[in-house]
Amino acid sequence: MKQSRAYPGTCADKGTRAKVRTPPRQLTRAAQTRRTALWFVLPAVLFFLLLSAYPLLRVLWQSVRYANLVNPSISGFAGLDNFRTVLDDDDFLPALGNTALWTALSVTGEYALGLISALALNANVRGRAFFRAAIIVPWVIPIVVAGLTWTWMLTPEYGVLNLWLVQAGLIHAPIAWLGQTGTALLAVTLVNIWRSFPFYTISLLAALQAIPADLHEAAVIDGAGSWMRFRVITLPHLRVVSMTLIVIHIVWTAVNFDFIWVMTQGGPLNSSETLPIMIYRYALQNFDVGAGCALATMMMGFMASVFFMQYYGMRRIASSQAGTA
């Protein structure tokens, strides 16, 4: 039997096309939800690329190039010359030591003070709600305001702290805490501890309240003392929170610029100069952007190492806890 041919433009041809045309694919509910979520995430991704990823890559690129803010003729590929400039700088090792001392003392003091205050606020004492609200006050004070206020309090001529110490008989005469090479960095460190420890307090207090009360009650029945309960029950439950707090604050403190710059500007005689202060001097006082970016790159490498150590440490703790369970 002979079949009829559908010529282009005829009704038969249009009917054939209508038959072969596939209907639009319907997205599943999960796919629609995923597409909507991607649209909501897109602004955050764009902000991240624009405000974090691009500056980061720009710093890495400038660290291997000659770049000067006031002399555009200084340009070109520098290789590792900027890193050699930083490592050959006589101020680099003292600043590295100051950064390590500033970070270690600050984080240790903040954690110790935060843990003690959290334990005190976790106890059933009178006025606990007031103290819990009041202890956060130093944390909400802007760094510049806190730094200028403490600078005034530590001034030897009219500082109220020197006046109190002299009246209490602890010192014979006012001391220039921020004007001596032996006390400048320690004074700024104490001020930093004072301002930052409430963050530890609030975080550790939340972790303490998550510990089941029946664990302590059972330990008391078994005859465990306060120290034994703290060592065997409390500390293991604070381990994850403590590790996270310490790692975060190591990074925050090591890159802190505001406090030291407001109170001493790295002086006297560079005795309180840290690596972020050196980056500022390279880039905005010596206009050597390449050296500043090289030092910033070195600090980023250190911070990334700390992050990975914390990440694998947390995984190890989680694995050990899962194995114990």
- Give pTM, 2 decimals: 0.81
pLDDT of residue 11: 53
For residue 274, what pLDDT is reported?
A: 94
pLDDT of 20: 59
In the numeric block, which tokens belong to residue 77? Answer: 């590929």
Q: Tens digits of per-residue pLDDT, 73-101?
A: 888 898 899 999 999 999 999 999 999 99
pLDDT digits (tens), the chain, 325 positions:
444 555 555 555 555 555 556 666 777 888 889 989 999 999 999 999 999 899 999 999 999 999 888 888 888 898 899 999 999 999 999 999 999 999 999 999 999 999 999 999 988 888 888 888 888 899 999 999 999 999 999 998 888 998 999 999 888 888 999 999 999 999 999 999 999 999 999 999 999 999 988 888 888 888 888 889 888 899 988 988 998 899 889 989 999 998 899 999 998 988 999 999 999 999 999 999 999 999 999 999 988 888 888 788 777 777 776 666 5
CATH architecture of 101-272: Orthogonal Bundle (1.10)
Q: Give which of 111, 197, 204, 180 is closest to 146, Cα–Cα.
A: 197
Answer whether the bond into residue 43 is a cis peptide, omega within 30°: no
Residue 277: how many other CB atoms lie within 10 Å:
23
Cα–Cα–Cα angle for 82, 293, 264, rounded to 5 degrees? 105
Q: Cα 177–280–197 angle (5° rounding)?
A: 50
Q: What is the pLDDT of residues 198-216, one digit of tens each?
A: 999 999 999 999 998 888 8
- Exposed (0-12), middle (13-18) or buried (19+): which is 187, by Cβ within 10 Å? buried
Q: Where are the domains of the chain?
A: 101-272
Which tens digits make up the pLDDT trace of 123-162? Answer: 888 888 888 888 889 999 999 999 999 999 999 888 899 8
